[in-house]
Amino acid sequence: MTKFKGRSSLKQYMPLKPVKRGIKLWCRCDSDSGYTYDLNVYSGKESQSITDGALTLGERVVKRLASTIQEPDVCLCFDRFFTSVNLLETCGYAALGTCMSNRKNLPNVQGKLKRGESMFRSNETGLLLAKWQDTKEVLVLSNCHKPETTGILKKTKTGEQERIDCPEAIAFYRKKWVASIEQISIKVYMITTGNPQNGGKKFFIPVSTFAL
């Protein structure tokens, strides 16, 4: 969400976001450098005549941004708003993302786990659902990982580093997602309204570019 308080039909209000009012941008960024390859501006609900009714908003956004990818050897990472079984089966790229437990056609992963324990399920098309218990339950859906675990370092309450087991798909997602957040490019644009010498105002608008 790009902060914006002026008048525009593009302005959105999202009360649960840190930036509550502004212009929503869907961006495809490099997780290592933060470079923005493509972006779309959300202009509100689309009419049925120009959308595929079989796709959710998240699926349409990912497919539009992925349509401009020039190098096929990539892996797409996105959060649970976008992730679905249909998207990972049809996007045409290696992909993974955190997932809501109530998504349609998701493999069954019922049951409670202790911290550090994991569970794997797959469907008939080969999609892998990894469930891992950290301080909270984590679900990641992937079309490019195996049901294997690896070790990661986590801080304990005392601040010490502790090595615990974690599914490879979740470890890969954590690595790429944290890297993308660290590489967010924050640009400041100076907007001038009128002539500052004649009473006009100068103000700054921070524009944050986020990865999917």
Q: What residue spans of the chain are helical by DSSP H? A: 57-66, 85-90, 168-182
The band of 18, judged by pLDDT with boundaries at 50, 70 and 90, is confident
Share of the chain above pLDDT 70, in %: 80
Number of residues that make up the chain:
212
DSSP letter for each residue of 24-82: -EEEEE-TTT--EEEEEE--SPPPGGGS-TTS-HHHHHHHHHHTT---SS-EEEE-TTT
The mean-pLDDT minimum among 29-38, 91-100, 172-181 falls in: 172-181
pTM of the model: 0.78
Backbone angles phi, psi at 138, to 5 degrees: -125, 130
Q: Residue 32: is its pLDDT beyond 90?
A: no
